[in-house]
Amino acid sequence: MTTRRLVISRSAVLVGAASTGLLRPSSARAQSGRVRVGLMLPYTGTYAQLGVAIENGVRMAIDQQGGLLGGRAIEWFKVDDESEPGKGVENASKLVQRDKVDVLIGTVHSGVQMGIQKVARDTGVLNLIPNAGVHAATRALCCANVFRTSFSNAQPTLALGKAMVDRGHRRAVWITWKYAAGDEAFEGFKQSYTAAGGSIVKELGLPFPNVEFQALLTEIAALKPDAVACFFAGGGAAKFIRDYVAAGLKNKIALYGSGFLTEGMLDAAGPAAEGIITTMHYSDSLDTPRNKQFRLEYAKTFRSQPDVYAVQGYDTGLLLVQGANAVKGDLSAKPALYKALEAAVIDSPRGKWRMSRAHNPVQDIYLRRVENGENKVIRAGGHGRATRSAGHARPAPWLRHCFARAS
Ligand code: PHB
């Protein structure tokens, strides 16, 4: 589809949806009173820390911009989604139907996001995704009112395969939690690793959020690959790293991962994490005034070090402020709001980025190594930049219908 046709279909949809009232859930409240902001994040379970970091980031960005959205104060609503996909629709509906939020910020877990996605499509509520990378959100089920500020699941691993082969690791085992985040991370890994000449010896998995890794680590030891690549995150990632060392594999089989493996977990994993190489759209050590200032401010405010989740939350806050300011706080002015969100340039600690046409960040992916308890950019080859990525390697066929059913 040409750009022109895309633009026409997008605005036609917006006009159509507006005339049916689908885009007016908050028009009665607009411009007066407080903006109702819903946070649907995990505050318990293996991803609890991720939810907290995201909320911290969102609040910090908005506070830094004066604490208002387009001149209006904020009323916050919170739901703990427990990373439980079975409750996704119910929890999102609580925020949209009961609390009547103007914007729903959430979530972390790809399966839970599928519930939010349904509610967002059914009601037209603005949804900003601060983490969940599920491909459908910006592909098959993408829509005008959903914007992602994080990544798509294959985005980091599309940069991983070549980096491993470049280091001489040609036979790899892949291991992950078996759900969309792990399976789609594998897609990116498989594509990049095999294209670079690597071969995947075996694909291993266990259900989310199971952390009984022992039997699988024994299998890896028997397979004797050159390297292991994985997707794990949150509390489970720290346990995987510690178990990997305890199984005696660390000095025998190089461990690589999608960068979530070493995000926010370096204190918990301790020395076991040293030397792990990962690919990610952020690195603690990015040597820019923007990142340094962000890290300082975050540490001062929350008495903890920020990670990629804090950055994604922060960028979500920046995006929301830009959108709300463009419509002077009237979040029911949907076409103007979406236009502003689509045009936004986010001056992020990860580096400046903007939305792809399907509402996913186009961003740099960095190659990092854990050194002295920090994710450091590997400086070889310029800026350690592994690739600039929109989250997909080929032209995006899903854009054809992307906005055709937006509501
Ligand atoms: C996801 O489920 O999409 C997900 C969860 C945690 C991460 C990354 C992706 O760190």
pLDDT in the model for residue 42 = 98
Q: Which ligand 1 atom lies nearest to the CA of residue 133?
A: 3
Q: Tell which residue, 32, 10, 26, 25, has the closest CA to residue 328.
A: 32
Q: Is the minimum distance from the CB of 232 to ligand 1 under 6 angstroms? A: no
pLDDT in the model for residue 18 = 36
Tokens for 45?
Answer: 């379970």
Cβ proximity of 80 and 109 under 8 Å? no
Q: Which ligand 1 atom lies nearest to the CA of residue 83?
A: 2
Opening angle at CA 265, ends 259 and 267, nearest 5: 135
Q: Is the minimum distance from the CB of 54 to ligand 1 under 6 angstroms? A: no
Distance 109 CA to ligand 1 centre (A): 5
Q: Is the minimum distance from the CB of 233 to ligand 1 under 6 angstroms? A: yes
What does each of the 407 residues of the chain score in pLDDT, given as a tens digit? 333 333 333 333 333 343 333 444 444 444 569 999 999 999 999 999 999 999 999 999 999 999 999 999 999 999 999 999 999 999 999 999 999 999 999 999 999 999 999 999 999 999 999 999 999 999 999 999 999 999 999 999 999 999 999 999 999 999 999 999 999 999 999 999 999 999 999 999 999 999 999 999 999 999 999 999 999 999 999 999 999 999 999 999 999 999 999 999 898 889 999 999 999 999 999 999 999 999 999 999 999 999 999 999 999 999 999 999 999 999 999 999 999 999 999 999 999 999 999 999 999 999 999 999 999 998 533 334 556 665 544 445 444 445 543 32
Q: Is the minimum distance from the CB of 386 to ligand 1 under 6 angstroms? A: no
Q: Are strands 351-355 and 361-371 parallel, antiparallel or unpaired?
A: antiparallel
Q: What is the pTM of this model?
A: 0.89
Is the N-terminal amide bond of 209 cis, ω within 30° of 0? yes
Q: For the beta carbon of residue 99, count every other beta carbon within 10 angstroms.
A: 18
